[in-house]
A and B are shown apart, each in its own frame.
Chain A
Amino acid sequence: MPAQVCPGIDAQRVTVLRDLGPAGGTSLFAAVVEVFVRQSSTSLAAMRQALEADSSALREEAHNLKGAAANVGAVTVAALCQQLEIAVRPGDKPRTIDLLNELEGVLECSTRCLLDLSEPQ
C-alpha cells in the first residue's frame, strides 16, 4: 500500500522518483526528500531574515526553493515560491509576509507528507 499522497504533492512525480531505484543503499526518493527538508528549512529562515534588508536575496532564495520543491514534487510549495518571487520584485511587503506565512504552513504539511512517503514500506 503506498502512503496517502496529500494535496500539495504531485503523486506522479513521487512515483517517478520512487521508480528511479536505489542510490547508495537508501532509496533515492528518501535521499531527495532528506536534502529537500534540510534545504527548505534553512531557505525559509534565510527568507525571513532577508525580509527586512535584502529583497534580491529573498528572491534568490525563493527561486532556489522553487526548483528544489518542483524536483521533489512539492508543487504547492513551488507555486508559492513563484508568487513570492513576483511579490518581492515591486517590494510588496505585506503580500510578501502573507506569502511567507502561508509558505511556512504548506511547507510543514508537505514535508511531513514527503517524509511519510519516503518511509520504507
Chain B
Amino acid sequence: MRVLVADDEPGARLVAQGVVEGLGHQCVVAEDGDAAWRLFQQHQPEVLVTDWRMPGLDGLQLCRAVRNAERDSYTYIVLLTSMDRHDDVLSGVEAGADDYVVKPLDPFALHARLLVARRVTSLHAELGRYRAELANQARTDPLTGVRNRLKLTADLGLLHSRSERYARTYSLALCDVDSFKHFNDTYGHQAGDDALRAVAATLVAQLREGEGVYRYGGEEFLVALPEQRATGAAAALERCRKAVERLAIEHSGGPAPVLTISTGVSAFVPATPISSEDVLRQADIALYRAKSSGRNTVAIG
C-alpha cells in the first residue's frame, strides 16, 4: 500500500516511517498539513496516518479535505493523538478518520491498523470496480454490445442542450433491418440475434468515434451524429447501408437476396430550432418513407 505519514515532529515521523516500510509498504512523509495535502493529491495513498496538531492544515482539516476529494477510491485515515484528548478523537472520526492511535506511536498499534486498512481499502476498490462495471452494463445493450436507450436518453439530452446553447447542428438517424420478422420466421431467432449483432458491429465500424450507435428497439438502431448536417449524415448512413449489404447475410424475404437496412435521417439546425423529440419524430417519418419507397435506402426528413 501507499501510506502517507503527516507529522511535524521528526522523531515521530521516523518511527512511523520505520513501521510502514518495515511492513513492506511504500511510505511518503509530510512535515506539515499543507505538504500532506499536496502529497495526498500527488500520490493518492491508500492510507493516511496524520498527526492532529500541525502547521498548515491540521489533522481535522486534512481529514475533511481528503473525504471531500474522494471519488471512487477510499483512503483509510488513522489519527495520531495524545493520550488525554478524547474530544479530538471524536471530532476527528466525525471529520472522516477511521481510527486513531495514541502517541508516542506504538509500532504494534500501527501494524494492526494497517492490516485493517488493507482489508477496508481493497474492499472499497472492489466495490468501485463493480460499480463501474454495473454502471457500464446498465447503459449497454446485452445482445449487440452497443449503447442502450437509457444511455441514449442521457447522451441525447446532453447533445441537444449543447447544440442549442452553442448553435451547433447535429443529426439523428433511425435504422431498421428490412423485413426482420420474416427473417426470424425463416431462419430462426438465433440467426436473427446473430444478424442484429452483425448489423450493430457494422454500424460501429463504419461510423466515426464520437458518433454514437444505440439499440433503439427490436431491430431498430439509432445513430447520433454531432456536428453533422442531414446531407453529411445521410452520406455516412449510405456507407453503412452498403456495408450491411456487403455482409451478404442471406435473406429471402427482403428487397434484396441479402439482409438490408432502411434509414431515416433528420437534423437539428440552430437557425430553426426544434426539440430533440421532434428531430427523432422527423427521422422516424423519413424512415417510414424509406420503407415505403422500396427499403434498402436512406431518406432525409
Chain B positions within 8 Å of A20 at CB level: 15, 18-19, 22, 107
Bin chain A's interface residue count. 10 to 19
- What is the 8 Å Cβ interface bit string for chain A, positions 38-77, against chain B (1 contact, 0 not)? 0100000000000000000000000010011011100000
Chain A positions within 8 Å of B22 at CB level: 20-21
A67 and B15 alpha carbons, distance in the complex (Å): 13
Chain B positions within 8 Å of A19 at CB level: 107
Known A-B contacts A64-B9, A68-B9; the reply to A23 vs B14 at CB < 8 A is yes
A28 and B10 alpha carbons, distance in the complex (Å): 12
Bin chain B's interface residue count. 10 to 19
Of residues 18 to 33 in A, which have CB atoms within 8 Å of B's CB atoms?
A: 19-21, 23, 28, 31-32
Flag if B15 contacts A39 (CB, 8 Å).
no
Flag if B11 contacts A35 (CB, 8 Å).
yes
Please report whether the interface of chain A is mostly helix, strand, loop or mixed according to DSSP: helix
Task: State which of B21, B103, B107 has its C-beta within 8 Å of the C-beta of A16.
Answer: B107
Please report whether the interface of chain B is mostly helix, strand, loop or mixed according to DSSP: helix
Chain A residue with minimal CB distance to B83? A70
Flag if A72 contacts B11 (CB, 8 Å).
yes
Shortest CB distance B105–A (Å): 7
Flag if A31 contacts B14 (CB, 8 Å).
yes
B17 CB-CB contact with A under 8 Å: yes
Flag if A67 contacts B10 (CB, 8 Å).
no
Chain B positions within 8 Å of A35 at CB level: 10-11, 14
Chain B positions within 8 Å of A21 at CB level: 18, 22
Of residues 209 to 234 in B, which have CB atoms within 8 Å of A's CB atoms?
A: none
Flag if A28 contacts B103 (CB, 8 Å).
no
Chain A positions within 8 Å of B105 at CB level: 71
Beyond the given A20-B107, A71-B15, could you list 18 further A-B residue pairs with CB under 8 A, ordered by the A residue number? Answer: A13-B104, A17-B15, A20-B18, A20-B22, A21-B22, A28-B18, A32-B11, A32-B14, A35-B11, A67-B9, A67-B12, A67-B82, A67-B103, A70-B103, A71-B9, A71-B11, A71-B12, A72-B11
